[in-house]
Amino acid sequence: MTDTAPLVSIPEAPVPDNGTAEWFSGAGAYRLRAALFLPPASVNGGTPRGSVVLSGGRTEPIEKYFEVIGELQARGFVVLAHDWRGQGLSQRLLDDPLKGHAHGFADFVEDYRRLLAHFGTRLPKPWIAVGHSMGGCLTLLAIAHGAGPFKAAVLSAPMLGLQTGNRPKRAARALAWLMGRTKPTDYILGDSGEGQPQTFETNILTHDARRYARNLAQVAAEPGLKLNAGTWGWLDFAFSASAWLKRDPAVARIAIPVVVLAAGEERLVDNADQREITARIPQGRWVEVPGSYHEILQETDPIRAVFWREFDAVAAGV
């Protein structure tokens, strides 16, 4: 008997057909949410082509990817989507549930292993990993630590490094290391963690007004999905994850194709770091998506089409 979990439906983003969510136990017995979606019987004679494990970025719940899940179902895939610890409807890490926090990356990797163990017998092979931003970074970390068996990975603007503005990257990393040990649960941006009020016109995530509004409407419908800015502990984790991927020999032993799609108008993660880490993977390939802001899969249809072109090419080869 499964422990059923909720999924949030709104008119702009209904729950995809053939999907159910459930709770599973992550590292340290954290209560985490995941959802499994089956393809329609009308596709491929009812026989799944394989499975996609879909991992969103920081702040992103399962619901934000309902459109993507539907597109994967229509291609004949079983889709497993999940909320990382500390966000979505998974268990939060601090008494203040709005703080985006982390304690390094080991627990995330173990959560991913347990996700695969919990659902593995329900995931037809071959398996393809898809991850965005923080989820792309953690997916690559998990694969480097032996999670699988995946046949390929397609990563959307993965957080393999962070832009640091006018502050030199070495200085930003040192500050995050220090504050991550002295004030780890404090917001980076100040007391509220809200940052500056943002509108579609000032956002740096997507050029698509409809998808931008849809994502806001989901959080308005279920405030429990909301997450504010990150803490110093989260920033220290992000820098540490990038540093590990740049130096650890396990990355050079990844034996599957890994396609990294980079946003051409990126303002958050560092595309140079992406290229450096992708070059360490024997079958790694870095592809720039011209004109895209950070959230490639939430972008306009012509921009999203680049992602689907690359995904379809990978899927045809596994």
Q: What is the mean pLDDT of residues 86-110?
A: 98
Superfamily of domain 4-316: Alpha/Beta hydrolase fold, catalytic domain (3.40.50.1820)
Q: What is the mean pLDDT of residues 194-209?
A: 89
Q: What is the mean pLDDT of residues 12-34?
A: 98
Positive or negative, the Cα torsion across 9, 13, 19, 22? negative
pLDDT for 257 beyond 70: yes
Strand partners, 77: 50
Structure tokens at 299: 């972008």
pLDDT for 318 beyond 80: yes
pLDDT for 193 beyond 60: yes
Residue 1: its pLDDT value, please? 47
Q: What is the DSSP letter of 281?
A: S
Q: Which range is least confidently modeled, 42-51, 70-79, 256-265?
A: 42-51
Q: What is the mean pLDDT of residues 97-121?
A: 98
Q: Please tell me the distance from the alpha carbon of residue 208 to that of residue 299, in angstroms, as a whole number.
A: 5
Q: Are 55 and 34 in contact (CB under 8 A)?
A: no
Q: Mean pLDDT in the chain?
A: 96
| Angle of CA points 36, 308, 216, to nearest 5° | 65
pLDDT for 252 beyond 90: yes
Q: What is the DSSP letter of 162?
A: B
Residue 2: its pLDDT value, please? 62
pTM given for the model: 0.97
Q: What is the mean pLDDT of residues 303-311?
A: 98
Q: Are 129 and 35 in contact (CB under 8 A)?
A: no
Domains of the chain: which residue ranges?
Answer: 4-316
Residue written as token pair 């959802």? 35
Structure tokens at 246: 């740049």
Contacts of 228 (CB under 8 A, 6+ apart): 98, 99, 100, 187, 192, 193, 194, 195
